[in-house]
């Protein structure tokens, strides 16, 4: 967990093109606002009281608020174990009706961790390297029992969305499920396409073809996108040089890593880090 808190707004929650390497969960208590999602398609969702909302990491989105709007917020970074696998395997609804006890869970986390409240609502004030590093250090310093309590509460809230989640078509193909599990489990390694083809006992050309049919991109493109997502997280949460981040993700040539990062994110790793400082 990075942050948890209760926010009160009065027409001042209007941030544009927010993009962060962590997942957001909201519980609305009062008023209304609009959430604009840019991917996988342009969508506008009206945020309503007694509903939960989830925004996956790396999703570009904007907020629009005209009047009074109050909500609990919970920010969870990808260190939260199998979160990536869940979003890859299932289509989760953005909105679900809250269940009894959900507001209490949010309130209880806020009460136990007042230090985790955001200093202000502007994402530019907390989407930065210094803040991320501090948040991660604070969480890592928690006693084990407090981490267990937090994890339990987060999993309960996450389960609300899983109740209405639909398994993606490719997830029914055990071969592809094994491939993605291998990629996610070895994201810090140099992942070889030949090894992935061998994993599902098919030829390399055939594997590349069926992978692209399922995911709309080649295995190498998918691996690179996932590595660049992890790179964004490392640049904000770890005190590593760009070269160290490249090596940590299995790139022997950090110049190639920089070019790839810019191709996918539109910025060099250093520009990305400076932008978020």
In the Cβ-directed half-sphere of 159, how many Cα atoms lie within 13 Å? 8
Task: Kindly state the average pLDDT of the residues 65-69.
Answer: 95
pLDDT at residue 79 in the model: 53
As annotated, the residues of the chain forming the CATH 2.60.120.10 domain(s) are 3-167
Per-residue pLDDT band at 80 (split at 50, 70, 90): very low
Task: Kindly state the average pLDDT of the residues 147-160.
Answer: 94
pLDDT in tens, 6-45: 999 999 999 998 888 889 999 999 999 999 998 767 899 9
CATH number of 169-275: 1.10.10.60
CA angle 185, 190, 193 (to 5 degrees): 85
CATH number of 3-167: 2.60.120.10
pLDDT in tens, 122-132: 676 555 556 66
Q: Residue 197 to residues 200, 208, 217, 219, 267: CA-CA distances in angstroms?
A: 6, 8, 16, 10, 32
pLDDT at residue 81 in the model: 45
Lowest pLDDT segment from 7-11, 78-82, 93-97, 147-151: 78-82
Q: Rounded to the nearest 10 degrees, how much is the dihedral formed by the CA atoms of 96, 122, 6, 114?
A: 130
As annotated, the residues of the chain forming the CATH 1.10.10.60 domain(s) are 169-275
pLDDT at residue 239 in the model: 81
pLDDT at residue 129 in the model: 54
């Amino acid at each position: 967990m990075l942050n948890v808190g209760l926010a009160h707004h009065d027409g001042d929650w209007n941030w544009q093109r927010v993009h962060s390497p962590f997942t957001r969960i909201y519980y609305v208590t009062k008023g209304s606002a609009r959430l604009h999602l840019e991917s996988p398609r342009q969508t506008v969702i009206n945020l309503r009281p007694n509903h939960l909302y989830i925004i996956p990491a790396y999703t570009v989105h904007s907020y629009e608020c005209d009047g009074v709007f109050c909500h609990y917020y919970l920010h969870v970074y990808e260190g939260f174990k199998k979160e990536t696998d869940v979003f890859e395997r299932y289509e989760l609804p953005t909105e679900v009706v809250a269940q009894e006890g959900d507001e209490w869970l949010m309130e209880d986390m806020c009460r136990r961790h007042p230090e985790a409240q955001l200093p202000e609502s502007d994402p530019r004030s907390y989407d930065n390297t210094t803040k991320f590093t501090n948040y991660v250090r604070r969480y890592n310093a928690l006693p084990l029992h407090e981490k267990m309590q937090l994890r339990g509460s987060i999993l309960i809230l996450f389960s609300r969305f899983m109740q209405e989640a639909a398994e993606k078509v490719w997830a029914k193909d055990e071969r592809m499920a094994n491939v993605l599990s291998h990629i996610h489990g070895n994201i810090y390694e140099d992942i070889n396409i030949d090894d992935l083809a061998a994993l599902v006992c098919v030829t390399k050309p055939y594997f590349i073809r069926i992978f692209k049919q399922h995911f709309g991109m080649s295995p190498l493109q998918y691996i690179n996108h996932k590595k660049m997502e992890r790179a964004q997280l490392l640049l904000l949460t770890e005190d590593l040089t760009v070269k160290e981040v490249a090596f940590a993700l299995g790139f022997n040539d950090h110049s190639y890593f920089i070019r790839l990062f810019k191709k996918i994110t539109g910025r060099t790793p250093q520009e990305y880090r400076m932008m978020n400082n």
